[in-house]
């Protein structure tokens, strides 16, 4: 009797399983994921950024194996290729892990420049328009992480010992380094490493030019040559100036001025 009842219950259970198939199992819900994928749930909740706050696991993973064969989403499902130039590039996951999308390892990808310029057009354009030895470098040689950069001295010696990183930027812009511009406040000692003669001559000079800085006369742009008359007008009488149009015929040298 007992054996019969058990057998009957068993048959009914089998029958239910047979007729309804696997779908009898409750569908996997979001709270279930942690039971089997605790590391990923932890990764997404602590480092997922907007992929944690704006969407859930199941917005991306619409299906689950073994029944679902399409468990992995394409990025373009939500970041439509037509929306931004940045979404049209290939191999998104070489930079972005979908579970921690802003932890980008720029060292991981071979060529980043085409991707960087999808958002930073200015810097890309500068490097192209002002050809320099930097134009041939990829962005990630200086920007190892997004938003970070190497100081110039990681690759170069300063012109004089006193210079620190910010001084470099006073004269050079990293994406157009050969265009040297500077403010009038730049100390003359920054020029002296490369122009020892002019510096020594001016230092030894006893006239009032001795007290002027290099940048006071050579204003703004490297290699700019000032005219004496810009500051002094024509101080002597007209005859003298027309006879000797070149001030340096008498005054010899702006740095080694003779009175």
Positions 157 through 216 that interact with ligand HEC (CB under 6 A): 158-159, 163, 167-172, 174-175, 177-178, 180, 182, 186, 188, 190-191, 193-195, 198-199, 202, 207-209, 212, 214-216
Binders of ligand HEC among residues 62 to 121 (CB under 6 A) are: 64-66, 71-73, 75, 77-79, 84, 86-87, 89, 91-96, 98-99, 101-102, 104, 106, 109, 112-113, 115-120
Name, in order, each residue with C-beta under 8 angstroms of 205's C-beta and a sequence gap of 6 or more. 255, 256, 257
| Interatomic CA distance for residues 172 and 182, integer angstroms | 8
The residue (of 13 and 30) whose beta carbon lies closer to ligand HEC is 30
Stretch that binds ligand HEC, among 3-11, 14-22, 229-237 (CB under 6 A): 229-237
The residue (of 1 and 225) whose beta carbon lies closer to ligand HEC is 225
| Interatomic CA distance for residues 209 and 154, integer angstroms | 37
Name, in order, each residue with C-beta under 8 angstroms of 63's C-beta and a sequence gap of 6 or more. 69, 70, 71
Tell me how far, at minimum, the Cβ of 171 lies from ligand HEC, in Å. Answer: 3
As beta bridge partners, residue 97 has: 100
Tell me how far, at minimum, the Cβ of 57 lies from ligand HEC, in Å. Answer: 3
The residue (of 5 and 233) whose beta carbon lies closer to ligand HEC is 233
Tell me how far, at minimum, the Cβ of 20 lies from ligand HEC, in Å. Answer: 19
Name, in order, each residue with C-beta under 8 angstroms of 249's C-beta and a sequence gap of 6 or more. none
The residue (of 10 and 253) whose beta carbon lies closer to ligand HEC is 253
When asked if residue 134 is in the footprint of ligand HEC (CB under 6 A), the reply is yes
The residue whose two tokens read 């500077």 is 182
Tell me how far, at minimum, the Cβ of 166 lies from ligand HEC, in Å. Answer: 8
DSSP type of residue 21? G
Classify residue 12 as left (phi > 0), alpha (psi -120 to 50) or beta. alpha
Q: Is 219 exposed, middle or buried (0-12, 13-18, 19+ CB in 10 A)?
A: middle
The residue (of 16 and 188) whose beta carbon lies closer to ligand HEC is 188
The residue (of 10 and 226) whose beta carbon lies closer to ligand HEC is 226
Tell me how far, at minimum, the Cβ of 23 lies from ligand HEC, in Å. Answer: 16
Cβ(61)–Cβ(71) below 8 Å: yes
- Residues 235-254: x/- map of binding to ligand HEC (CB under 6 A)? xx---xx--x--xxxxx--x
The residue (of 204 and 232) whose beta carbon lies closer to ligand HEC is 232
Neighbouring C-alpha atoms within 13 Å toward the C-beta of 149: 11
Nearest to 68 by CA among 16, 18, 27: 27
């Amino acid at each position: 009797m007992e054996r019969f009842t058990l057998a009957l219950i068993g048959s009914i259970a089998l029958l239910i399983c047979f007729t309804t198939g696997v779908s009898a199992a409750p569908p996997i819900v979001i709270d279930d994921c942690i039971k089997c994928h605790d590391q990923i749930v932890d990764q997404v909740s602590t480092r997922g950024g907007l992929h944690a706050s704006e969407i859930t696991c199941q917005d991306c993973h619409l299906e689950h194996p073994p029944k679902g064969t399409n468990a992995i989403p394409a990025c373009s499902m939500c970041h439509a290729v037509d929306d931004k130039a940045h979404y049209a590039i290939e191999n998104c996951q070489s930079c972005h892990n979908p579970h921690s999308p802003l932890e980008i390892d720029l060292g991981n990808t071979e060529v980043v420049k085409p991707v960087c310029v999808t958002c930073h057009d200015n810097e890309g354009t500068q490097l192209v328009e002002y050809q320099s030895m930097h134009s041939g470098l990829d962005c990630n040689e200086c920007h190892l992480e997004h938003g970070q950069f190497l100081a110039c001295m990681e690759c170069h010696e300063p012109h004089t010992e006193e210079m620190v990183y910010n001084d470099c930027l006073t004269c050079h812009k990293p994406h157009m380094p050969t265009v040297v511009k500077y403010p009038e406040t730049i100390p003359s000692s920054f020029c002296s490493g490369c122009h020892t003669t002019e510096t020594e001559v001016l230092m030894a000079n006893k006239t009032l030019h001795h007290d002027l800085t290099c940048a006071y006369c050579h204003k703004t742009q490297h290699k700019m040559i000032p005219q004496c008359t810009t500051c002094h007008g024509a101080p002597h009488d007209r005859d003298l100036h027309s006879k000797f149009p070149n001030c340096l015929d008498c005054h010899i040298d702006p740095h080694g001025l003779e009175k």
